[in-house]
Chains A and B, each alone.
Chain A
Amino acid sequence: MRRLFLILAALLLAAGCSIAGGDAKGRTTVTFRLWDEQVAKAYQQSFAAFEKAHPDIGVQVQVVPWADYWTKLPADVAAGTAADIFWTNTSNFGLYADNGQLLPVEFTGDWTTSVVDLYTRNGKLWGVPQLWDSIALYYNKDLVPDPPTLTWDPAAPDDALRATLRKLTVDSAGRHPGQSGFDPQKTRVYGFNAAFDLQAILWDFVGSNGGTWQSGDTFDFADRPKTVQAVQYVVDLINAEHVAPPAADTNTNGDKALQLFTQGRMALFQSGPYHLKSIQEAAGFQWGVAPLPNGPAGRVGVVHGVAAVASAKTRHRDATVEVLKWIGSADGQRPIAEGGYAFPGVTTAQPVFVDYWKKQGVDLQPFLDSAGGTTFPAPLGPRVGAGQTAYTPILQQVFLGRLGVAEGLRKAQDAGNEAMKG
């Protein structure tokens, strides 16, 4: 028995002083949390340079998995254990800003205007723009030799987009949708990635048809005929035209369309620069980026940005603001741009990112054009995250074809607004 206690005591001791030492240099440690472990590496490079210039401040980078990021954050904010600076997206920052959990940003920088707009609420800026993405059209050059410039119009049954997609979609017997004997169960190549993907597909079509999704902090999509029409168009591409993979495959598997594209089984893939690295790594064919399809209201794409916000409960405000200033500067963001991870929020760091991809043979101009043209606002409001959680299962039913579009949007809007009231 005594021996057991000795072993136990030794183990407890060993556990108490496990591997990896703390910051013993007497520096102020500022914590920085994000959800992307690849970009975390770029930040680490950036902070190494920062620490050289500020020997009294150390920055500790924490990666919390994306899947659990929004579960863990509320608990940490409530308990006062949140990181000093953390990444946020537009759906989630409003609540914290309104509740006084964030420090307003009281300095300015050379930042992308659209992202600054997204994080300005009640006349104050709450986050320092870090990354942004816009939407464009990736295309497989083996299947589509020339950069496609497509138009779409829900009122014309044979608009260029539908006609092109029918031609691009092929089943195992070489037949196209619309031809007799075409078997959608045996599709070999899909034309397009129409799916329940709000950012990359749905909102872009809604915007390009002249519809809206939200007005102020409430959803209004079911009340806008243009919105309903655009959603119907996208759902029909899947269930009536069969030019996109079935919603049963894509509703809950966000990677499905990407995999089909990299397998060479999808001709056009509408998405953001966040997929550049995956496609570059995986595609065994030549590919390029083209502008979005041009709709009745023009080319409209979603611009979304990630910002770094500072916790109002930070115990070392001055050091935190120093770090925030650094990651809002061109020098601070250079590693993110140089690594080709994402469009940096600092405008002057952008050419570095564009050059990275030019060297890989990819022209990012369509993304820049998409961001510079008419854009569709990303979701906003203090409880919009809760609203989205409420309507998602209903919209998934709509995409599966189990609920009519008009009826489903109405239900989804009611559920979403109900949840947003809190």
Chain B
Amino acid sequence: MRRAVLTYLALGIGAILILAPYLMSVQTSVKTPRQFAQQPPLAPPRPPTGANYAELVVGGHTLIPPLVVTVQVVVVVVIGQLTCSVLAAYAFARLDFPGRDAIFWVYLATLMVPVAAVLVPRFVLLSETGLSNTFWGIVLPSMFGSPYAIFLLRQFFRAVPQELLDAARIDGAGHPGVLRHVILPLSRPILATLLIITAVTHWNDFLWPLVITSGARWQVLTVAVAGLQSQYQGNWTLVMAATTLATMPLLVLFVLFQKHIVRSITITGMK
């Protein structure tokens, strides 16, 4: 009994610590700039206002175009990454060709190179080919798989029992058939995990879209939200409403894939 109380107490404190920042941003988002400036941050909004949200949806600071761009970026990157990573991981895990392991380890080593280090070379490369400030400029560098995804899938594919694959081969399946009828159905949880990780990473990606695009046309959500703040003008109520809106789709994604996420944590051991 006492143990249960302590457990709940610890969990409760943890939950408060994690949720408080979000709750605070939500409550700030329903304040007017005047309320925000005059009262302490924890004072409840009285009366709450929807003006910030209205401004972001139908007003002068509409986030709809950046939202559409972001959704397109995420969809293209997720589909591209999943397709390419599955194919590459299958080759690394199940095909025999000379230099396989060497190529894999070199590719994996790129995980260790921080994004900031390749930012400028990548930017120069893409702008030389005329892709700066285009949709393809945003998605191309990340739509052909990532070392992390390939590593994760390779390890998973290697754990599939060889007997299953052999049985499929005896029944006349080629590599595409094996991949499609044996490996993929068995890999649903890991694919769901990857989908979520990739979607969240690219939904939140800020630095690359900021650098490669200029102007309103290809602005993604993160860049548009950052643009609400200026040197001397914090616009905090508007920014809080914008971040609340920007997190919403991720919450929906979480609810939809909740089971998979929990399972994926046990698979990958990641938090």
Q: Main secondary structure on chain B at its contact with chain A?
A: helix
**Could you say which of B38, B60, B133, B229 contacts A282, with CB atoms under 8 Å apart?**
B38
Interface flag for B186 (CB, 8 Å): no
Interface pair B72/A14, CB less than 8 Å apart: yes
B227 touches A64 (CB 8 A): yes
Interface residues of A in 247-301 (CB under 8 A from B): 254-255, 259, 262-264, 274-275, 277-278, 281-284
Whether A66 touches B231, Cβ cut-off 8 Å, given contacts A18-B72, A19-B68, A41-B60, is yes
Closest to A274 in B: B232
- A66 near B211: Cβ-Cβ < 8 Å: no
Q: Are A18 and B68 in contact (CB under 8 A)?
A: yes
In the complex, identify which listed stretch (B120-128, B146-154, B241-249) lies at the interface while the others stay far away.
Answer: B120-128
Q: Which residues of B contact A38 (CB under 8 A)?
A: 230, 233
Q: Which residues of B contact A45 (CB under 8 A)?
A: none
Report if B59 contacts A (CB, 8 A).
no
A selection of 25 A-B contacts at a CB cut-off of 8 Å is A11-B72, A12-B76, A15-B139, A16-B135, A18-B69, A18-B135, A18-B218, A19-B65, A19-B69, A31-B215, A36-B231, A37-B227, A60-B215, A62-B214, A62-B216, A64-B214, A64-B227, A67-B229, A71-B211, A79-B127, A274-B232, A278-B233, A283-B38, A284-B34, A284-B38
- Chain A residues within an 8 Å CB radius of B34: 281-282, 284
Compute how far the CA of A65 lies from the CA of B231 in the bound complex, rounded to whole angstroms: 8
Closest A residue by C-beta to B79: A8
Least Cβ–Cβ distance between A293 and chain B, in angstroms: 22
Chain A residues within an 8 Å CB radius of B26: none
A61 to B215, CA, bound (A): 7
Interface residues of A in 72-94 (CB under 8 A from B): 72, 75-76, 78-81, 83
Residue on B with the closest CB to A16? B135
Kindly state the separation between the CA atoms of A41 and B227 in the bound complex, as whole angstroms. 13
Q: Tell me, in angstroms, the Cα distance from A19 to B133 when the chains sit together.
A: 14
Contact with A along B115-151 (1 / 0, CB 8 A): 0000110011001100011011001000000000000
Chain A minimum-CB-distance residue to B215: A62
A36–B230 contact, CB under 8 A?
Answer: yes
Q: Are A282 and B37 within 8 A (Cβ)?
A: yes
Q: Given A37-B230, A63-B227, A79-B127: A259 and B133 within 8 A (CB)?
A: no
Q: Output the least CB separation between A304 and chain B (Å).
A: 11
A72-B76 in contact (CB<8A): no
Whether a CB of chain A sits under 8 angstroms from the CB of B14 is no
Q: Which residues of A contact B123 (CB under 8 A)?
A: 75, 79
Cα(A41)–Cα(B230), bound, Å: 13
CA distance A264 to B41 in the complex (A): 15
A61 to B217 Cα, complex, angstroms: 11
Q: How far is the CB of B59 from chain A (nearest CB, A)?
A: 12
Q: Give Cα distance in the complex from A299 to B27, angstroms.
A: 43
Confirm or deny: A356 has a beta carbon within 8 angstroms of a beta carbon on chain B.
no
Residue in contact with A65 in the complex, picked from B69, B75, B180, B229, CB distance below 8 Å: B229
Smallest CB separation, B243 vs chain A (Å): 14
**Within the complex, which residue of B38, B136, B211, B216 is in contact with A262, where a contact is CB–CB below 8 Å?**
B38
At the interface, yes or no: A20 with Cβ under 8 Å from chain B?
yes
Complex Cα distance A63/B215, Å? 6
Of B79, B214, B234, the residue contacting A11 (CB under 8 A) is B79
Question: What string of 1s and 0s marks CB contacts (under 8 Å) between A85-129 and chain B?
Answer: 000000000000000000000000000000000000000000000
- The number of residues on chain A lying at the interface, defined by a beta carbon within 8 Å of a beta carbon of chain B, is 50
Interface string of B246-262 (1 = CB under 8 A from A): 00000000000000000
Write out the residue numbers on chain A whose beta carbons fall within 8 Å of the beta carbon of B210: 64-65, 68, 72
A357 at the interface (CB under 8 A from B): no
Determine whether B223 belongs to the interface, using a CB cutoff of 8 Å to chain A.
yes
A8 neighbours in B (Cβ, 8 Å)? 79, 83
Q: Which residues of the other chain, B, contact A255 by a CB distance below 8 angstroms?
A: 234
Q: Does B50 interact with chain A (Cβ within 8 Å)?
A: no
Q: Is A1 an interface residue when CB atoms closer than 8 A count as contact?
A: yes
Q: Answer whether residue A326 sits at the interface, using C-beta atoms and an 8 A cutoff.
A: no
Closest Cβ of chain A to B83, distance in Å, is 8
**Other contacts beyond A19-B68, A67-B226, A75-B120: 5, CB < 8 A:** A16-B135, A18-B218, A31-B215, A37-B61, A72-B210
- The verdict on B33 contacting chain A, using a C-beta distance below 8 Å, is yes
Given A15-B76, A83-B214, verify A263-B229 contact (CB < 8 Å). Answer: no
How far is A364 from B162 in the complex, measured between Cα atoms in Å?
A: 81
Which residues of the partner chain A approach B73 to less than 8 Å between Cβ atoms? 15
Chain A 228-247, CB within 8 Å of chain B: the 1/0 string? 00000000000000000000
Distance (whole angstroms) from the CB of A398 to the closest CB of chain B:
24
Shortest B154–chain A CB gap in Å is 21
Q: How far is the CA of A36 from the CA of B229 in the complex (A)?
A: 8
Q: Does B228 contact A (CB under 8 A)?
A: yes
Are B226 and A263 interface neighbours, CB within 8 A? no
Contacts of B61 in A (CB 8 A): 37
Q: For residue A264, which residue of chain B has the nearest CB?
A: B38
**With the chains together, A64 CA to B135 CA distance in Å?**
18
Say if the beta carbon of B39 comes within 8 Å of chain A. Answer: yes
Contact assessment for B37 and A79 in the assembled complex, using a CB-CB cutoff below 8 Å: no
- Contact pick for B37, options A68, A81, A278, CB 8 Å: A278
**CA of A61 to CA of B39, assembled, Å:** 35
A35 within 8 A of B: yes
Is A79 touching B214 in the complex (CB atoms < 8 A)? no
Q: How far is the CA of A275 from the CA of B211 in the complex (A)?
A: 29
**Smallest beta-carbon distance A114→chain B, Å:** 20
Whether a CB of chain B sits under 8 angstroms from the CB of A162 is no
CA distance A76 to B133 in the complex (A): 11
For the complex, what is the distance from the CA of A277 to the CA of B37, rounded to whole Å?
Answer: 12
Q: Looking across the interface, which residue of chain B has its beta carbon closest to that of A259?
A: B37
Q: Is A35 a contact of B231 with CB atoms below 8 Å?
A: yes
Is A226 in contact with chain B by the CB < 8 A criterion? no
